[in-house]
Amino acid sequence: MRRHTVDVLFSLSLFMVFVICSFFLLLFQINGYHKISEDENSVYQASSYIKNMVRDYDRYQEITIEEIDGHSCLRLHNDHEVVYLYVDNHMLKELYQIDELSVNLSYGEERFAMDSMTIQEKNNKLYITMEHDGVKNTLMIALRSGGVLS
């Protein structure tokens, strides 16, 4: 009987060592995944966000690139509002305005961590290059409405 008890205890302790090692391995992998997703997803989520915004406002044929207070801004306009997308203090910001009053970029809402963003228009295509923590992504959006207004 004593021999049987020792065998069971040894098997259970070996199983517990396996469970604990598996738990720590899983814990380290989750932390690593979160670090990778925090670093890279900011740029890719911002790319997706900007692409959806441009697609939404493209039907109004009111997309412009403007320089305001030293910031390169993507200006999206429809019948009711004006939206400015720009980078300030390492953040992609979005400023909604109801009318064409003076633009104060300090009121923009922070959306994503972003170090820089450049916006260019060539041949009815919008090229937006974003960078954050060394991760760089260039977004090309073909404009259906006829291009960026000057």
Segment 5-47, tens digit of pLDDT: 888 888 899 999 999 999 988 888 887 766 655 555 678 888 8
CB 115 within 8 A of CB 133: yes
Helix, strand, coil share (%) of the chain residues, nearest 5: 40, 35, 25
For residue 21, the model assigns a pLDDT of 92
CA–CA dist 19, 25 (Å, integer)? 10
* Neighbouring residues of 34: CB distance < 8 A, sequence distance ≥ 6: none
User: pTM above the 0.85 mark?
Assistant: no
For residue 77, the model assigns a pLDDT of 86
Q: Is 97 helix (H, G, I), strand (E, B) or coil?
A: strand
The segments of the chain whose pLDDT lies below 50 read: 150
For residue 147, the model assigns a pLDDT of 54
Nearest to 147 by CA among 76, 83, 63, 85: 63
